[in-house]
Structure 1
């Protein structure tokens, strides 16, 4: 029986994908084969050797020590796109709130008293005159699962959309509306947009992606929307732009103590994926992926190992995670040959520094063979499924 440890409340819809006759949700981490997590910080946690998979019920994995787990051969899964619709709808809401000055208008009305309320509203409502979205330009930085949906939805509202993503996938290109303009660089997007929405992971190359240099080229009064990750927008550039009016509004899902009272800032309490539907979608997606890995060794949507899938076609299956370096396959097949093991089928794939192998064999596999495979320099993990 496989044992699963949950570090957060995982949707029952997800846990129901793990049949009770084969899976048990355990209280102690030391008992676990896999961990399911949402937002809990796993960096200070030492995982026992029994854990071979971590499933993040969401897209980002900043709360997981991915590099450390990779060295241990632990596969880290996420759920890209499962919360895409939820984030898309929040971006659209943010544009409407900003364009129509709804945040200020709501605050105004909530402060009224019954005395002369109608007269006060009629006298003051012109303070909150806004703009329509149709005809305005939205810049989308990052055209992954969320960015594509945001771009397409904005086009449906009559907006002009310009996008930038140098690493766009073929699947993303197929899904993106043909009316979306492809920017040649970020400066072109920054200079053309009335609204800018960020949908990129927080990496060394994206930290401070919007900085003082970007601030010098943006349209005056631009609305920035950050539902991606804190750190994408440089804090000093943000403060400077807010104070001098070059940034007309900043809508963020990551509140900062020094900005939440700023009149141009609308801060939300990390609501991007906070819908019942998104939580269920993420939990179901990651539970299915972890189950397929535990039972069949298949990998889909891993952030540290390559997608690898192969139909079962022999008596035994050996799963090998290793460093991506020369002669690894040769060494693996040599050991199998020495033990007289015939390979029925094999699939190898690599991703960055790591590689993964599925090897189906016609013979029974003993502990001695597995031990010898684990002893190969560069092998991170070996298991029999």
Structure 2
């Protein structure tokens, strides 16, 4: 009989689900706060069910010799060391859509409270001041709401705002015009949103591209009197810059449920009369807590009793029998998607994944999910192989799967083609006998390159001197070139280079590379 440890507070109904499915349950809701005790006991269990209080560190995982699955009741898995869990073959599951409505409702609630200064008016009234003329609010009817990130939660916020008779504009590179039309929102670029919005609400993951997406420069582009709401992730807004804008009166108010440092016992935004702060309550409703608890219990039970995998963040939904032969192709599909995603800057309208040869007879659904996860993750961050198809559908992306069982030049070939509003890009790869995935074709140009942690992708004109000047530029910056792969359409025509380097490419060196005479495009890539 499998044994599951619940180390955080979880609904009694979730405990009963485990028992009903024939799983032994040890319910210790305070154990997650005691790292030493958890490390001491974890080796006795097949499953670990947690919320946010339990921190599953490498030290704890070292002791988890029998652990097969970690279930996170909620979406965020930043309290679990995913690479360490993956290295030990431990499946990590979450419940990505259990608290979407609750979080969206919290954002709307904060917007309304901000518009009418309700918290400050409440404090004043209960102090016996009756300062009726002090709290002159604004109506939201007819106002423009700018939604940054129009995925699952952002689209719910947009729907609620439309019901409140607001005009909704949305910035989301992955939102297609057709999906925007279905939602009833106007898709705009970020600068346009900043210029037009009366209220701005953020619903995007925290990634390198979205960190401080609202900084001092962005705030200066907003209209005077704008109000900003953040129920997504701390770090999307530069808190220092926002405080300065609040002090100057350019920003009329802000409502934050998330902060750069949490728990936020102190913060630069605290104390300002036009700021509302809540302690990360986005998912804190009875319904949401119950939903995610029941979902994680069902998912963990399915895996422990039948081997079925649902909502895993570190493994696709495939059976144990399929796993050995699929694993290298899952890695290939995800990295091909990541290659395309890191080069894509505009909205994606269509994705085609083509399978040729032996791979066409495999579980291509899992491979397609892996390719989509790789494609979406550079922009959206918290995307896994299970949630990727749902997220792509929400954004109106057309996903097409093509299989051709007859092999061509390779025993197996996967091609990922991405169509955006501006261009069409495709990349092909295969897995050789050594089990390592390779890129073999980029936009019709033959190539043979392995994926590496740090690479540079360059499109250039095939002219003498390029390799020398490029290598010299990196040499002057003390950056070592590990491998150098090139391909071209024809002599003197368009060419492509994929270069593996040791370490990252600093911005100042990248600028010098882009300034080289033959270079058309230069982009750092990470795998």
Q: Partners of 1:212 and 1:244 in 2: how far apart?
A: 13
Q: Partners of 2:304 and 2:97 in 1: how far apart?
A: 22
SS in 2 for 1:128: coil
The corresponding residue for 1:36 is 49
* Corresponding residue to 2:228 among 213, 224, 229: 224
Q: Is structure 2 residue 169 aligned with structure 1 residue 165? A: no
- The structural deviation recorded for 1:237 is 1.9
Q: Which runs of 5+ in 2 are unaligned?
A: 29-40, 259-263, 334-360, 375-383, 387-433, 437-527
Question: Residues 42 and 136 of structure 1: is their aligned pair in 2 closer, same or farther, counting only changes over 3 Å?
Answer: same
Q: Partners of 1:156 and 1:322 in 2: how far apart?
A: 46
The corresponding residue for 1:301 is 311
Q: TM-score, normalised by structure 2?
A: 0.56
SS in 2 for 1:18: helix
Work out which structure has the larger RCO, using CA pairs closer than 8 Å and 6 or more positions apart in sequence.
1
Q: Is structure 2 residue 256 aligned with structure 1 residue 252? A: yes
Q: Is structure 2 residue 272 aligned with structure 1 residue 267? A: no
Number of paired residues? Answer: 325
Question: Residues 15 and 266 of structure 1: is their aligned pair in 2 closer, same or farther, counting only changes over 3 Å?
Answer: same
Question: Residues 221 and 302 of structure 1: is their aligned pair in 2 closer, same or farther, counting only changes over 3 Å?
Answer: farther
Equivalent runs, 1:77-96 vs 2, <5 Å: 77-96=93-112
SS in 2 for 1:46: helix
> Given that residues 191 and 218 in structure 1 are in contact (C-alpha distance below 8 angstroms), is that contact kept between their aligned partners in structure 2?
yes
Q: Is structure 2 residue 117 aligned with structure 1 residue 110? A: no
Equivalent runs, 1:1-385 vs 2, <5 Å: 1-20=1-20, 22-26=22-26, 28-40=41-53, 41-43=55-57, 45-47=59-61, 48-112=64-128, 121=130, 124-168=131-175, 173=179, 177-183=182-188, 185-254=189-258, 255=264, 256-306=266-316, 308=317, 317=321, 319-320=323-324, 322=327, 324-325=330-331, 347=363, 349-350=366-367, 351=370
SS in 2 for 1:54: strand
Q: Partners of 1:38 and 1:266 in 2: how far apart?
A: 26
CA RMSD of aligned residues (A): 3.0
Q: Partners of 1:186 and 1:355 in 2: how far apart?
A: 28
Q: Partners of 2:299 and 2:103 in 1: how far apart?
A: 22
- The structural deviation recorded for 1:23 is 0.8
The corresponding residue for 1:359 is none
SS in 2 for 1:30: helix
Q: Which runs of 5+ in 1 are unaligned?
A: 113-119, 311-315, 328-344, 357-375, 379-385
Question: Residues 259 and 152 of structure 1: is their aligned pair in 2 closer, same or farther, counting only changes over 3 Å?
Answer: same
Q: Partners of 2:144 and 2:13 in 1: how far apart?
A: 39
SS in 1 for 2:77: coil
Q: Partners of 1:125 and 1:177 in 2: how far apart?
A: 42
